[in-house]
A and B are shown apart, each in its own frame.
Chain A
Amino acid sequence: MDHFSDDQLMALLGTSDVVPEVSEGSLALARMAFDWRTLDAELAELVADSALDQAVALRTTTTPRLVSFEGRSLSVELEIAAHDDIRVITGRLFPPQEATVEVVRLTGAPLVVDTDVDGRFVVEVSAGPVAFDVLSIRTDWLVT
């Protein structure tokens, strides 16, 4: 009784709650992801994220997170500052140009913001997944 075999230990783990159950809400969100497919836009991939560099460095930092998306003809760079559940996103397009940026969120209509002549824009969102539509590109999704 004072020693369990590997198989017995696995069986005990199987009856515990170490593998989380999926809630109905979580399933519904995953099913809904299908609705956010864009078929005609070019995907701009996430190519850099300072959050990942800091995951292996010191845990204490107050510098904003820097994120880059790269499409064939357009890149988007973001600086994300966190204030509780609010994210202030300062973005810049490369090459710099005037354009309309749509911030796609999971709830509500996209936020629409215009860039200045230097390709800069500022937008405030709640923490959570967002993607950006700019000209012909759609960026990867990002949890802000």
Chain B
Amino acid sequence: MGETGDLVERARDGDREAWNTLVDRFARMVLAVAASNGVRPADRDDVAQVTWLKLAQNLDRIERPDAVGAWLAITCRNEALRVQARSAREIPVEDELFDRIADDTDVEEEALRSIPDRDLPAAFEKLSARCQTLLRMLLLERPYNEIAELMEMPIGAIGPTRQRCLDKLRRLLPNRSGITGASEDS
């Protein structure tokens, strides 16, 4: 059993330090999965929190302690879908979009920033949940077997999918940002 599996076993036996180490190791990944699946910033802590509550409650049932990262990611994605559905029930689509913008940045602050700085994150937000998840997991340097399990794809498909997602991202960027293949001047 690897180091992560060992932490799960120790947490199971009531070792709080082991639990805290698991939290430190996976908290950002859990939050990234929530962000990739359409959860508004205001709801992300709820989704992350219920994911950790479920892990605490299910420590005895984790079949492969070494793969707890994939377990957390999949659990978080399911919770994200529930909360997203809950939000859809409460708020008309237009308001939700407005909230998302309002949550992210103060409007005045936004106006003061140079536009190209925001082009990349804004384009990224328009990618599919799958592409956002894959790219964020890669940015966090998660292990390929964990990504493969979360995405339900063979490890060999990760590279080509990364390429397709980055191509989509380029197409979503305005030309002025200089990141797209086509130049406006030539």
Q: CB of B73 within 8 A of chain A? A: no
The secondary-structure label for the interface of chain B is helix
A88→B102 CA distance, assembly (Å)? 28
B23:A19 contact, CB within 8 angstroms:
no
Stretch from A1-9, A69-77, A95-103 at the B interface: A1-9
User: Which A residues are CB-close (under 8 A) to B57?
Assistant: 36-38, 43, 131, 138, 140-141
- Chain A residues 21 to 37 lying within 8 A of chain B, measured CB to CB, are 21-23, 25-27, 29-31, 33-34, 36-37
Stretch from B1-9, B26-34, B63-71, B143-151 at the A interface: B26-34
Given contacts A2-B182, A31-B20, contact A26 B27 (CB under 8 A): yes
30 A-B pairs with C-beta separation under 8 A:
A1-B178, A2-B180, A2-B182, A6-B163, A13-B124, A14-B139, A17-B121, A18-B120, A18-B124, A19-B28, A22-B27, A23-B45, A25-B45, A26-B49, A27-B27, A29-B48, A30-B23, A31-B19, A33-B49, A34-B11, A34-B56, A36-B53, A36-B57, A38-B57, A51-B85, A61-B89, A106-B49, A129-B49, A129-B53, A143-B83
* A interface residues (Cβ-Cβ under 8 A, vs B): 1-4, 6, 9-10, 12-14, 16-23, 25-27, 29-31, 33-34, 36-38, 43, 49, 51-52, 54-55, 59, 61-62, 65, 82, 106, 128-129, 131, 138, 140-144
